Amino acid sequence: MAKTIYVLNGPNLNMLGTREPETYGHATLADVEKLCADTAARFGLNADCRRSNSEGELVDFIHEAHAKKAAGIVINAGAYSHTSIALHDALVAVQIPAVEVHISNVYAREEFRHHSFTAKAAFASLCGFGIDGYRLAINGLAAKIGAKAKS
């Protein structure tokens, strides 16, 4: 059976496409989720994409990934990346290889975006590539978990 990776998006990412396009671009969340599904499929992986504005629900998704024996997690927790010890602890608790993604280059922005709790619990973190960061994250995650590209 194909392995599953969870792709978790946090608050305000449902607004992609209309939200600050000069920072986040014009692609929508549906575009992101399609990109993730297509990229995962290249490695024979299923992408289970979830999104929530609620910190607790994101914690629940991480627990669910553990319960369903997910092979990896890609997470853009939005602003919770910078504030949420609960998301950090959930990622550490489940011990599933995780990659953090930010669409924007958080280091070129306000100082409050320069620290990330989710990055501390992830094996890698990407920012500033626009939505292509999700494709790059899945490529890196596939390499980490030994999923080979299908020819």
If you write DSSP's letter for every residue of 97-148 in order, what string do you get?
-EEEEESS-GGGS-GGGS--HHHHTSSEEEESSTTHHHHHHHHHHHHHHTPP
> Contact region for ligand DQA (CB under 6 A) — 25-33, 58-66, 72-80, 139-147?
72-80
> Contact region for ligand DQA (CB under 6 A) — 25-33, 62-70, 98-106, 118-126?
98-106
Which of 106, 121, 126, 142 forms a contact with ligand DQA (CB under 6 A)?
106
102 binds ligand DQA (CB under 6 A): yes
24 is catalytic: yes
Residue (134 or 147) nearer to ligand DQA, CB: 134
Contact 77, 103 (CB under 8 A): no
Name the residue type at position 74: V
- Distance CA(55)–CA(61), nearest Å, equals 10
52 binds ligand DQA (CB under 6 A): no
Which residue has the closest beta carbon to ligand DQA?
78
